[in-house]
């Protein structure tokens, strides 16, 4: 190899003592089950020693791919989706792919169909809270699709990567009931998607089996002001005041805490408040917020891995990632009657 020439896969193969085909398998991420781990390490070491960079443009032409994925999310302003993107981008970068973000123009809810203009420039789509017409557009264009947070798929449908949302809400309800709460108001996101439908259904089912439990529901938008207004309605309604506000997200919980303070109530002495997402916001509140921790980066990473597998024609099983309740100071014993 001349000093001024860029190293090639043949050079990597020579240094590693393997074939060019083996180099392609290892650097293309398709070596597992075909090449030993020791050989893969040798190939990577040789590539690093030579500062070898694959010719992705040539490979894309050969495969007929742009090596670009489209990630469709409801909003870029929400920390959860930023973390989903980070996870997807990390896996994509390791495989020489790029990720293009497409948020909903409204900032919340399903994204509009972006595929008429983008179809020719992308290889596949990872989508959260996708509208039905957008799904039809993908199917018509033949693009591989992976769905996030959208519920278990059907046979023959796109691969799915979901969170154990029902289990997360179940943990919250059982935590509140275990503390002694029986009058609970659910601050429910007024967004018609699978994840919020599951949350509402699980709250009803769990409290339906608890003697003396009384469940009320206040629906609100996914913002602090709407949540504060909903919490004020819940805390000032006629009859006995709820002792706990179970919120569909940390942002809603922040609104609930603000409402309680405005009414002269203390959290958690007078009313307990729980969230969902475990954003940075959860530990910025005072008291810190009891919330359900979601593995957002794992969602993005598993979604991208599923899309890469689909592009290679590999069957992908549905994925459900576990979630964890993190108990902090915003929940406590209900006030004495």
The pTM score is 0.76
Per the prediction, the chain carries an average pLDDT of 84
Which one is predicted more confidently, 30 or 247?
247
- The CATH superfamily assigned to 165-294 is Response regulator (3.40.50.2300)
Has residue 60 got a pLDDT over 50? no
| Residues 211-234: tens digit of each pLDDT | 999 999 999 998 999 999 999 999
Which one is predicted more confidently, 180 or 46?
180
User: Do residues 101 and 73 lie in contact, with contact meaning Cβ atoms separated by under 8 Å?
Assistant: yes
Has residue 105 got a pLDDT over 80? no
Q: How confident is the model at residue 142 (pLDDT cuts 50, 70, 90)?
A: low
Q: Positive or negative, the Cα torsion across 256, 257, 261, 267?
A: positive
Structure tokens of 221? 């938008």
| Residues 309-319: tens digit of each pLDDT | 988 888 888 99
Name the CATH topology of 9-54: 434 Repressor (Amino-terminal Domain) (1.10.260)
> For residue 132, what pLDDT is reported?
43
Beta strands at 244-247 and 183-189: parallel, antiparallel or unpaired: parallel
Q: Which residue, chain included where needed, has tokens 């070898």?
A: 52
Which one is predicted more confidently, 118 or 69?
69
Closest CA to 161 of 82, 110, 88: 88
Domain residue extents for the chain: 9-54, 66-162+296-320, 165-294
Q: Which residue, chain included where needed, has tokens 């309680």?
A: 260
Q: How many CA atoms lie within 13 A of 322 on its CB side?
A: 3
Q: Which residue stretches of the chain are H helix?
A: 9-16, 20-27, 37-50, 56-63, 79-94, 115-118, 132-141, 165-179, 194-208, 224-236, 250-262, 281-284, 296-311
Which residues, at least 6 apart from 71, have a Cβ–Cβ distance to it below 8 Å? 84, 85, 88, 99, 100, 101, 102, 125, 126, 127, 300, 303
Q: How confident is the model at residue 155 (pLDDT cuts 50, 70, 90)?
A: low
Domains 9-54 and 165-294 share a fold: no
Percent of the chain at pLDDT exceeding 90? 50
Has residue 113 got a pLDDT over 60? no
Has residue 292 got a pLDDT over 70? yes
> For residue 106, what pLDDT is reported?
55
> 187-218 burial string, b = 16+ CB within 10 Å, else e?
bbbebebebbebbbebbeebbeebeebebeeb
Three-class secondary structure of residue 74 per DSSP: coil
Has residue 254 got a pLDDT over 60? yes
Architecture of the domain made up of 66-162+296-320:
3-Layer(aba) Sandwich (3.40)
Give the chain's radius of gyration (CA, Å): 25
Helix axes 165-179, 194-208, angle to 10 degrees: 30
> For residue 51, what pLDDT is reported?
78
The edge-to-edge listing of strands for the beta sheet with 68-73 is: 98-103, 68-73, 124-128, 145-148, 160-163, 319-321
């Amino acid at each position: 190899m001349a000093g001024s020439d860029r190293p090639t896969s043949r050079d990597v193969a020579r240094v590693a003592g393997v074939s060019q085909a083996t180099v392609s398998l290892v650097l293309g991420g398709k070596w597992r089950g075909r090449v030993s781990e020791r050989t893969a390490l040798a190939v990577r070491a040789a590539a690093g020693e030579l500062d070898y960079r694959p010719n992705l443009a040539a490979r894309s032409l050969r495969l007929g791919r742009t090596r670009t994925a489209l990630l469709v999310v409801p909003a870029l302003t929400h920390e959860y989706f930023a973390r989903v993107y980070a996870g997807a981008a990390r896996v994509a970068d390791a495989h020489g792919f790029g990720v293009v973000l497409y948020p909903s123009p409204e900032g919340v809810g399903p994204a509009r169909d972006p595929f008429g203009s983008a179809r020719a420039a992308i290889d596949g789509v990872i989508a959260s809270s996708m509208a039905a017409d957008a799904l039809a557009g993908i199917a018509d264009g033949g693009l591989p699709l992976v769905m996030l947070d959208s519920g278990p798929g059907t046979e023959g449908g796109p691969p799915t990567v979901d969170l154990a949302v029902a289990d997360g809400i179940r943990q919250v309800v059982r935590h509140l009931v275990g503390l002694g709460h029986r009058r609970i108001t659910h601050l429910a996101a007024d967004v018609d998607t699978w994840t919020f439908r599951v949350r509402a259904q699980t709250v009803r089912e769990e409290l339906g089996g608890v003697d003396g439990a009384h469940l009320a529901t206040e629906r609100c938008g996914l913002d602090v002001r709407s949540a504060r207004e909903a919490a004020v309605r819940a805390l000032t309604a006629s009859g006995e005041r709820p002792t706990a506000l179970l919120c569909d997200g940390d942002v809603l919980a922040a609104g609930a805490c603000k409402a309680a303070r405005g009414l002269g109530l203390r959290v958690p002495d007078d009313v307990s408040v729980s969230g969902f997402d475990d954003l940075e916001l959860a530990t910025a509140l005072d008291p810190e917020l009891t919330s359900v921790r979601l593995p957002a980066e794992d969602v993005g990473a598993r979604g991208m891995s599923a899309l890469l597998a689909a592009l290679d024609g590999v069957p992908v099983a549905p994925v459900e990632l576990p979630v964890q309740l993190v108990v902090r100071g915003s929940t406590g014993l209900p006030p004495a009657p």
